Chain A
């Protein structure tokens, strides 16, 4: 079966530097810096990444940050709660635009 997404491509992520090494390398250096232990723990950052992966609907990131969250010591409850945070923000983001819809509807209505 051929699909747009191939799980094996995840391991080839690093290859993006082939066609633009300077920007690619800068991105990876930045990426590595972002995920270091800091004011947030590595596990907390991994859970944030997992939530964002769901919000941006990137299957590669979901794959990578499910493994990474497990590796950093997160359990199933923490991981599912992270997904709910993404869902709440995405759902809330759609709903809050309802105010815009209401404004426009009111503007156009008698």
Chain B
């Protein structure tokens, strides 16, 4: 499997993705516009509630090529954040009291300045989340000490593991990913991650491996803890359930498997106004590898930049950004369906 970009697939063009997403609405079909739904809930325009998370996407390079990836990440992607841009993020961060910095990618650890960035944020005393895909830890010798590095900086590790069975995990993330993920989890456990009283937090992310929504977060967490504990001796803190949004490679999967309309119908039918009020973009700022600003990582992958005079992290101005309206589109149904979905899992 290659990225959409490497395959010159039409969906590599974000304008084309947006056309697909808005087509059903334009044709007067049954899919109501997300803006209309928000309006009925009294949430239009969607406004920020105050900035508490800075999410930095340090590049699209990844050692995996998962079928559901909304980033279209992979080994062939060369977009990567430079240390100079990282410094701009740090300068902005220092001028705020943003409590949490969420590092994502791609595989963020593949950015050559990744460790430097973690050290700098740590020095500023902010909480750090790293979205680690697990397999990177065992991919190459130079990454084997990542668990110790994370522990030293009290990084909160958040890792995708779509299922406790090898079959369902490998179907979504690639052959052999499950086995390598288990090894990486054991390495994280070995330095204290997920162990009671260690203060080192390890959360797993559950993404449905197909065209369906996640089940109850609490129920799945129990199941994951039981199975991973019994079969592999693995412990972790929380399971976060995340709904796949119809963006990039997951959108491609939906279209190619004939599931697009059925999936969108499901999301629309499950629209939850309480989840809509809690969407993560209201308290997050997302920064792209080139320093461009977005409301969230999904908008970033659709090239929907913030509706604000501040467009780049070098011009960061918290008050101005808090005065913006959040850019929404049909993919936002993914964040507001059922129990809601965010980078932190269910929102209700």
Contact = CB atoms under 8 A, between A and B. Distances in A.
B215 interface: yes
Contacts of B163: 73, 75
Given A43-B219, A77-B165, 5 more contacts: A37-B216, A67-B212, A73-B163, A73-B220, A75-B165
Interface string B105-142: 00000000000000000000000000000000000000
Interface residues of A, number: 12
A64 to B, nearest CB: 11
Contact of A71 (B167, B168, B215, B223): B215
Question: Which A-B residue pairs are the 6 nearest by beta carbons?
Answer: A72-B215, A75-B165, A71-B215, A73-B220, A71-B212, A42-B219
A76 interface: yes
Contacts of A42: 215-216, 219
B210 A70 contact: yes
Nearest to B338: A71
A7 B149 CA distance: 53
B178 to A, nearest CB: 11
Contacts of A25: none
Contacts, number: 40
B223 A41 contact: yes
Interface in B203-225: 206, 208, 210, 212-216, 218-220, 222-224
A69 to B, nearest CB: 9
Contacts of A75: 163, 165, 167-168
Given A42-B216, A43-B215, A73 B167 contact: no
Interface string A29-43: 000000001000111
Interface string A56-79: 000000000001001111011100
A29 to B, nearest CB: 19
Interface in B259-275: none
8 contacts: A37-B216, A37-B218, A42-B219, A43-B223, A70-B210, A71-B214, A73-B223, A75-B168
B212 A70 contact: yes
